[in-house]
Amino acid sequence: MALPSVGGGYQFGDGNLNEVDMISITPQAATVTATLTVAQITGDILVATAGTAAATYTLPTGTLIDATLTNAKIGSAFRLAIVNLGTSSGVVTIAAGTGLTLVGTMTFAITAVASTSPCGAGELLFYRTGTATYNVYRIS
């Protein structure tokens, strides 16, 4: 939510154009191959430090996501930025949990020149399509 720069409220429409958009994030971390928790995928940023070995992170199930995001409606979405700080061959691959459909390249290389991924960081968009079902899009 944006903080008002003057006064005590928020104006919709063309008001408050000079405000900084403040958000609250909780960076999460992951190392070796593991199944991620809902907290890790909803913390906005996941820092992967797999080191010199490749790692696969399996996303939680749609049921677990729904149990945490109880107010999510069909059509709701959230994003997760992934930063791979691995070295050498520490490519990170994202695998689907039950109820999730992956769309796009789900590998995150350590550098932009690696042939397995567009770059060492990227962003996923989780889009709720039904009860305990999500499409997970690689958007960057």
pTM (two decimals): 0.79
Identify the pLDDT of residue 131: 97
Identify the pLDDT of residue 107: 92
Beta-bridged to residue 137, according to DSSP, are 103, 125
Identify the pLDDT of residue 114: 46
List b or e across 101-137, with b for residues whose CB sees 16 or more CB atoms inside 10 angstroms: ebeeebbbbbeeebeebeebbbebbbbbeeebbbebb
Identify whether the C-beta of residue 43 lies closer than 8 Å to the C-beta of residue 28.
yes
For the record, the structure tokens of 25 come out as: 């994030």
Tokens 């999730």, located at residue = 100
Give the mean pLDDT per block of 10 residues along the chain (140 residues).
49 55 78 93 91 91 96 94 84 96 92 55 95 96
Taking Cα atoms as reference points, which of 112, 63, 105 lies closest to residue 84?
Answer: 112
